[in-house]
Amino acid sequence: MKKLILGTAITALTAGAALAEGHSVVRLGTEGAYPPYNFINDAGEVDGFERALGDELCARAELTCEWVTNDWDSIIPNLVSGNYDAIIAGMSITDERLEVIDFTENYTQPDPSAYLALADADVDLSSAVIAAQAATIQASYAAGEGMTVLEFATPEESVAAVRAGEADAVLADRAYLAPLAEAEADLAFTGENVLIGGGVGMGIRQSDTELRDKFTAAIQSMKADGSLNALIEEWEIGELF
């Protein structure tokens, strides 16, 4: 009898080991330059809403996770090339991206984008010069609306352009702009919010359905017990589920 128990214990162990072999360590790729979603804190570590979320998801899915920062431009090519296993970087779920990678269930509501302008300026958005980060959904949205788009390499520069009078307003994720509007007296939101992207989800390789399902299950469990809403509130990301 004892032997039998030992036997099953061993099978369970080895089965566990075999399962884990695919992903003994799950590497999470992020940008580290997009507060409050993800940023590098004073101590030089990845911090923010997605850090807290990712750590919790890994705990629930019983995975050992590791954080990696990667430039935004090459974040998807590096995922499909296998340099990390998941993207958790405030990435909206879009049809374009779905052609190349899979997403878990969204962990935020669709994030509105907003216009930020000088507080004392009266901006007519239909004829305004709009600053945006190059190659973002906001840049292509503004171009599609017929606005004159001024594209900068980093979000920081696009905000600086509004201050310098180069652009009338900057269009970016509201969650990114909100702390700036709050902290800087000379900047304020203008116009209506616009809904451009879908919700934010984790990007996973299309061939890696097992990992996708694990994370989706973990996200669902966090949605169910309200812990996801608590995090969204803590980091002021946007609407609750």
Partner 1 sequence: MGATIFSYCSDPSTIEGLKWLSCYLTTGKHISMYWSFGTVLLLLAITAPTALAFGFAGATAARSRIAPVSWIGKGYTAIVRGVPDIAFFLFFVIALDQLFEWIRHEVKCPDWTDPIRQGNDFVVCTEAKLPLGNAAAWVHDTYAFFLAVLTFSIVFGAFAANVLTGAMRAVPRAQIETGEAYGMTERQTFWRIMVPQMWVYALPGLSNLWMVLIKATPLLFLLGIEDIVYWARDLGATKTPKFTDYPHGDWRMWYFLALLVFYLCFTKLSEIVLDRINRRLTLGQATAAGEAQRKAAA
Partner 2 sequence: MTCWDVISDYGLRSLGFGERLLPRDDFTICKQVVLIGSGMIWNVYFGTVALLAGFFLAVGTAVAKASANPLIRKPAEWFIFVFRGSPLFIQFFFAYFAFVSLKGAVPALGGLTAAWLGAVIVLFLNTAAYSAEIFYGALMSIPKGDIEAADAYGMTGWKRFRRITFPTMMRLAWPSYTNEAIFLFHATTLVFFSGFPSRGQMGDALYYANYFADKTFNPFVPYPILACYFIILTLIVIGIFGLVNARLNRHLPQQNRGKLRLRLNLIR
* Closest of 139, 41, 45, 28 to residue 90, by C-alpha: 28
Per CB under 8 A, the list member of 15, 19, 59, 80 interacting with partner 2 is 80
Contacting partner 1 within 177-196 (CB under 8 A): 179-180, 182-184
Q: Does 43 bind partner 1 (CB under 8 A)?
A: yes
Pairing of strands 169-173, 102-103: unpaired
**107, 199 Cβ separation under 8 angstroms:** yes
Per CB under 8 A, the list member of 140, 221, 227, 229 interacting with partner 2 is 140
Contacting partner 1 within 113-142 (CB under 8 A): none
**190, 125 Cβ separation under 8 angstroms:** yes
* Two structure tokens written together for 77: 């090519």
Q: Does 57 bind partner 1 (CB under 8 A)?
A: no
Q: How far is CA 43 from CA 39, 40, 47, 199, 231, in A?
A: 11, 8, 10, 30, 21
Cross-strand partners of 40: 46
Which of partner 2, partner 1, none is residue 109 near (CB under 5 to 8 Å by kind)?
A: none
What's the one-letter identity of residue 107?
Answer: Y
Give min distance, CB of 156 to partner 2, in A.
12
Q: Does 16 bind partner 1 (CB under 8 A)?
A: no
Q: Does 71 bind partner 1 (CB under 8 A)?
A: yes
Interface positions with partner 2 (CB under 8 A): 73-74, 76-77, 80, 96-97, 100-101, 131, 134-135, 139-140, 143-144, 146, 148-153, 157, 161, 164-166
